[in-house]
């Protein structure tokens, strides 16, 4: 059955597009409700139809077990406060024990209730059991963290019994059900939205995005609107995965002032956030950082920029921070000038592409050994301050670092690989937000991940927990320096994993390791290329099983949306995105050369001969 063809009985909830609901209210005085005619099926909302509202209805009197099961599954997708209508399909005991907020199981399509199983003769069970089937694609925990999984069969069950009502009649009700919510992907995307909450990188002064999912509208459990939900989940602390590498300046126990259900912006788009007495312990510097966390967290939830946030404790003002002032804590800490991408020209030299006002300008080679042909490059990474670059020789054997602002001799190689073939030698390098340089040696006899503090000196081998025999083929480190995207090769398949970068100490003496590997694109059979595209987003080139190659955006938690699929492109070997989402994507296409994708347009060729396009990072 699934999302588009479930049974629909008289106990089903009603799905109404929001605009139709408004029109219905306006016309109520001049229209009558028909009391005859056939009952029509109400289809599950198609993917992306977020304006559809589901109004749950209670079970009708003497409803059969099929209607009870269908009615409950539909009521789970509604905005009903505390799922009050959904609970009417449960026995009193089951209603008391059911906790919708403890987590959500996401299926590819709506859960499919199979016909009830007959109870074994003599079992003493007078009830009915309805197995639930589907393809499980993700779980969302009680902390709102999304975790994708490779599609696996879902097997749940709903059990019904006949329970006496106040009128001493017997009605079918559910007495056993799966924990939390079980939703099809389209219903999940209609009810929930992805957002980033922000915490400070441990020991640093910049923010790190922590993606979670909150309700699109009023949360049935807390009765909070989306803005208030966002503030609450921020105050609840980071997700378990990110917690080891971030910190929050909010004093322990800080929460919204008791009874706060809605937060409203004033006519200047400023917001006052009332907190409990625990927040009063914060000093001014600490409070400014708290306000910065809130400002960045709320940015994705409002159509216009948040002008300022004022924090209050017990009614007294603690501090005020404007949106401009919060930029000192920005995750990407940009140089203040637009980023232009770089690429390696047909002569193996590092050059700059111009995608700004003068978009027809010819590429310009950088100054120094990477631009004058002293070394023919195979791959490159430009430091985030755009003063230096790291280049790997065309044979992928040696790694060098050189200035791109001044002339000079090419120094000694930082590392050399002993791999027999170019594909078994050095990967493309990557710079993190600390100014450290990362690279993978793909030598099958000595595979390793290396970090060069400040891009100099001897490389430190970084341990990666959970590789399970896979080899690192490519890598990209985030601007915040606490996450790393890895393309891992195992048994002929290349997958994308996100790891957490944990540091103990500082500089060259720091002990650094990568832990907590988790899949970022489990539904993709293979991944060809990846780039960071903002604080919690990646742009990925790959294909699903049996599908064609796609270029698409995914969140670092592995969640996707139909809107994330980008225009098609011929075979892509490299992809690059800037931290600023106003800058175009740049890719290396085997057929079209170096191409760009401006907002609202299609791919455009910039350079016919070249390779390895990159933005700083």
Tell me, what's the pLDDT at 12? Answer: 52
**For 71, what's the count of Cα atoms within 13 Å in the CB-facing half-sphere?**
27
Tell me, what's the pLDDT at 334? Answer: 56
What's the rounded Cα separation, in Å, for the pair 517 and 124? Answer: 48
CATH H-level, domain 342-614: superfamily: TolB, C-terminal domain (2.120.10.30)
Q: Burial code of 120-135, b = ≥16 C-beta within 10 A, e = fewer?
A: eeeeeeebbbbebbbb
What single string gives the DSSP state of each residue in 353-405? Answer: ---SS-TTPPPEEPSSTTTTTSS-EEEEEE-TTSSEEEEEETTS-EEEEEESS
For residue 324, what are its two tokens? 């401009």
* CA angle in degrees (0–180, nearest 5) for 544-548-551: 80
Tell me, what's the pLDDT at 99? Answer: 96
Reported for 409-418, long-range contacts at CB under 8 A and 24+ positions apart, including other chains, are 409/369, 409/374, 410/369, 410/374, 410/375, 414/452, 414/456, 414/457, 414/459, 415/439, 415/441, 415/450, 415/459, 417/441, 417/442, 417/443, 418/443, 418/445, 418/446
What's the rounded Cα separation, in Å, for the pair 570 and 390? Answer: 28
Tell me, what's the pLDDT at 564? Answer: 86
Other beta carbons within 10 angstroms of residue 490's beta carbon come to 13
For residue 498, what are its two tokens? 């996100």
Tell me, what's the pLDDT at 209? Answer: 97
What's the rounded Cα separation, in Å, for the pair 396 and 390? Answer: 12
The stretches in the chain having pLDDT less than 50 are 1-11, 18-50, 357
Q: What percent of the chain has pLDDT over 70?
A: 88
For residue 415, what are its two tokens? 């590392």
Nearest to 7 by CA among 74, 52, 62, 58: 74
Strands 524-532 and 511-519: unpaired
* Structural Rg of the chain based on CA atoms: 28
- Find the largest Cα–Cα distance for the chain: 93
Domain with CATH 2.120.10.30 in the chain: 342-614
Main-chain phi, psi angles of 86, to 5 degrees:
-60, -35
Tell me, what's the pLDDT at 244? Answer: 97
- For residue 84, what is the DSSP state? H
């Amino acid at each position: 059955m699934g999302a588009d063809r479930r049974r629909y009985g008289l106990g089903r909830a009603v799905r109404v597009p929001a605009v139709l609901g408004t029109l219905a209210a306006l016309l109520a005085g001049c229209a009558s409700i028909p009391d005859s005619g056939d009952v029509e099926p109400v289809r599950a909302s198609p993917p992306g139809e977020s304006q559809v509202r589901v109004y749950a209805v209670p079970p009708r009197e003497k409803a059969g077990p099929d209607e009870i099961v269908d009615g409950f599954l539909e009521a789970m997708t509604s905005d009903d406060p505390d799922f009050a209508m959904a609970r009417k399909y449960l026995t009193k005991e089951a209603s008391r024990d059911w906790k919708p907020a403890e987590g959500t199981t996401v299926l590819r399509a709506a859960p499919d209730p199979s016909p009830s199983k007959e109870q074994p003769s003599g079992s003493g069970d007078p009830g009915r059991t309805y197995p639930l089937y589907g393809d499980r694609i993700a779980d969302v925990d009680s902390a709102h963290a999304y975790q994708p999984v490779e599609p696996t069969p879902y097997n749940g069950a709903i059990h019904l019994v006949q329970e006496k009502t106040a009128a001493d009649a017997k009605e079918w009700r559910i007495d056993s059900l799966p924990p939390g919510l079980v939703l099809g992907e389209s219903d999940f995307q209609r009810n929930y939205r992805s957002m980033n909450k922000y915490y400070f990188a441990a020991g640093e002064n910049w923010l790190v995005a922590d993606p979670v999912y909150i309700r699109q509208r009023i949360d049935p459990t807390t009765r909070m609107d989306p803005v208030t939900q966002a503030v609450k989940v921020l105050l609840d602390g980071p997700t378990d995965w990110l917690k080891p590498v971030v910190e929050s300046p909010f004093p322990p126990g800080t929460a919204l002032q008791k009874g706060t259900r809605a937060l409203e912006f004033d006519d200047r788009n400023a917001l006052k956030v009332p907190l409990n007495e625990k927040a009063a312990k914060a000093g001014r510097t600490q409070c400014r950082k708290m306000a910065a966390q809130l400002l960045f967290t709320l940015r994705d939830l409002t159509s216009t920029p948040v002008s300022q946030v004022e924090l209050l404790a017990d009614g007294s003002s603690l501090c005020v921070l404007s949106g401009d002032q919060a930029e000192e804590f920005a995750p990407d800490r940009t140089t203040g000038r637009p980023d232009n991408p770089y690429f390696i020209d047909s002569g193996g030299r590092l050059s700059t592409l111009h995608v700004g006002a003068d978009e027809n300008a010819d590429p310009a080679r950088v100054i120094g050994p990477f631009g004058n042909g002293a070394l023919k490059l195979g791959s490159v990474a430009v430091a985030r301050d755009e003063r230096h670059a790291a280049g790997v020789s065309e044979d992928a054997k040696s790694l060098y670092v050189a200035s791109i602002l001044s002339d000079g001799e090419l120094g000694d190689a930082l590392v050399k690989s002993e791999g027999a073939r170019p594909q078994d030698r050095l990967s493309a390098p990557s710079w993190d937000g600390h100014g450290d340089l990362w690279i993978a040696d793909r030598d099958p006899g000595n595979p390793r991940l290396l970090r060069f503090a400040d891009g100099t000196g001897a490389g430190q081998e970084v341990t990666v927990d959970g590789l399970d025999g896979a080899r690192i083929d490519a890598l990209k480190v985030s601007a915040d320096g606490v996450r790393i995207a890895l393309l891992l090769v195992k048994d002929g398949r290349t997958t994308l994993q996100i790891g957490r970068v944990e540091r103990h100490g500082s500089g060259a003496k720091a002990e650094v390791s990568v832990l907590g590997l988790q899949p970022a694109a489990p539904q993709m059979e293979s991944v060809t290329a990846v780039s960071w595209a903002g604080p919690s987003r990646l742009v990925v080139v790959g294909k699903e099983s049996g599908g064609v190659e796609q270029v698409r955006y995914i969140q670092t938690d592995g969640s996707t949306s139909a809107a994330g699929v980008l225009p098609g492109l011929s075979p892509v070997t490299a992809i690059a995105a800037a931290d600023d989402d106003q800058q175009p994507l740049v890719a290396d296409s085997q057929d079209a050369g170096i191409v760009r994708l401006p907002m609202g347009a299609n791919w455009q060729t910039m350079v016919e001969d070249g390779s390895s396009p990159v933005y700083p990072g």
